[in-house]
Amino acid sequence: MRHPIRRSAQAAVAVATLSLAAACGGGFDDSADQQESGTAPLTMLIASSGDAETQAVQAQVDAYEQESGTTVDLQVAADLSQELAQGFAGGNPPDVFYLDASRLADQADAGNLFPYLDQVDDLDDFYPNLVDAFTYDGTQYCLPKDFSTLALEINDAAWSAAGLTEADYPTTWEELSTVAQTLTTGGQTGLVIGDTRDRVGAFMTQAGGWFLNADGTEVTTDSPANLEALQYVQENLAAGSFAYPSAVDAGWGGEAFGTGKAAMTIEGNWLVGAMEADYPDVGYTVVPLPEGPGGAGTLSFTNCLAVSADSDAQDAAVDLATYLTSADAMTALTQDTGVLPSRQSLADAYLEQFPERQAYIDGAEFAQGPVNAPGVEQVLIDFDSQLGGLATGDPQAILESTQTNLEQAIGG
């Protein structure tokens, strides 16, 4: 070291330069963007299933711009949760965004959401259990824009080839087992269902169980009802009349169903669009899920139009969200995209147009939403990964470990 002092001085200058640069980096606060009220430009971040959906939303947004004079920048996310996370961390989130019901508790708990349902007058037109899916800790956060439920899809050709008639459509677990057994022949499996809580969970609700109790305060995963459901699925998996998609070399239930590897599947109303696009020649019938020992049960999947707590223009954002969930806009938006209107008043008109979607709509009355508690995602992923081995696994052990993990996640 010839010039220790000079060298450390140079290093100090370098560090100072860095700190300065970093400090400047912190200066991108958007406080300067504050606009006069009424004309604040809004950003809206959505996830889209494709061009048709994007264009349908864009059309409604354009109509809103015309009516209100507010400009809306509609952005389609490639990965919604990642882009949302970036927006929240950067302090510059989109004003309005799609939020899946399964993500509500985490986002609400982190304080990212602005609850606006107290500003909505016709809230009772929305299905109550969908609004419940967007209620966390007693606060109702956002309006469900549409929903989907699960039903049983039956391949007509396979059905009649097995000598079955409409009278044989299964309405109980026993009947489901029987027809699945009958339909299992050669390369065809009776029922192919996804190996996640989003499909197997339907059996849990039909048995009268679920991960949490009704008000989400207590973990009830290791209940006898849930055990009965898993045992039922396990027995049928072992018998070969039920199978997971990977076992029949399919990506999901719909693919197995469309390619004829499955005579029945349990999927939601998105299957309708997928069948039209990929397997237009397969004739099929949609019937309600069979009832279990706990009665009828299905699962619902829904997105809401959430408003950011950090939005600069919350009033305008709420205005946009309510506009897009109004009866007119919802009718247009649920037209081509295969989702169901979340307003009860629209159900009749919708069914007149799409009578074959009756079973999906009917599920809305009693459908169970996703697990509504913060910090449980990893636990549920773990549950899913254990479901993959259900055929040879121990249902009691699966439920017990999930019970422990959920208690830990919710308690801590």
| CB closer to other proteins, 82 vs 160 | 82
In angstroms, the CA 129 to CA 98 distance is 18
The helix/strand/coil state of 376 is coil
Q: Report in angstroms how near the CB of residue 147 gets to other proteins at its nearest.
A: 22
Residue 221 Cβ vs other proteins, minimum distance, rounded to whole Å:
13
Q: How far is the CB of 139 from other proteins (least distance, A)?
A: 17
Query: Does residue 360 come out as left (phi exceeding 0), alpha (psi in the -120 to 50 range) or beta?
Result: alpha
When the beta carbons of 13 and 277 are compared against other proteins, the nearer one is: 13
Taking the complex as a whole, the smallest distance from the CB of residue 248 to other proteins amounts, in Å, to 8
Residue placing its CB nearer to other proteins in the complex, 123 or 381: 381
Closest CA to 79 of 42, 48, 112: 48
Which lies closer to other proteins via its Cβ, residue 66 or residue 392? Answer: 392
User: Which residue lies nearer to other proteins by CB, 106 or 168?
Assistant: 106
Contact present, 181 and 374 (Cβ < 8 Å) = no
Q: Least distance in Å: CB of 360 to other proteins?
A: 28
Considering the complex, state which of residue 93 and residue 190 has its C-beta at the smaller distance from other proteins: 93
Do residues 57 and 87 lie in contact, with contact meaning Cβ atoms separated by under 8 Å? no
Give phi and psi for 163, each to the nearest 5.
80, 25
Nearer to other proteins by Cβ, of 15 and 161: the residue is 15
- Collapsing DSSP to helix, strand or coil, 370 comes out as coil
- What burial class does residue 295 get, using C-beta atoms within 10 Å of its C-beta: 0-12 exposed, 13-18 middle, 19+ buried? exposed
Based on CB atoms, which residue is closest to other proteins, 269 or 314?
314
Beta bridge partners of 206: none
Reading the block at residue 254, the tokens are 């719909």
Rounded least distance, CB 105 to other proteins, Å: 10
DSSP 3-state assignment of 59?
helix
Least distance (Å) between residue 406 CB and other proteins:
9
- The residues binding other proteins (CB under 8 A) are 1-3, 6-8, 10-11, 14-15, 17-18, 21-22, 25-26, 79, 81-82, 85, 88-89, 91, 106-107, 109-112, 246-247, 249, 310, 375, 377-379, 381-382, 385-386, 388-389, 392, 405, 408-409
Q: What is the CA radius of gyration of the chain?
A: 25
CA-based nearest residue to 329, from 342, 318, 348: 342
* Per-residue DSSP letter, 330: H
Residues pairing with 368 in the sheet: 299
Shortest gap between Cβ of 370 and other proteins (angstroms)?
14
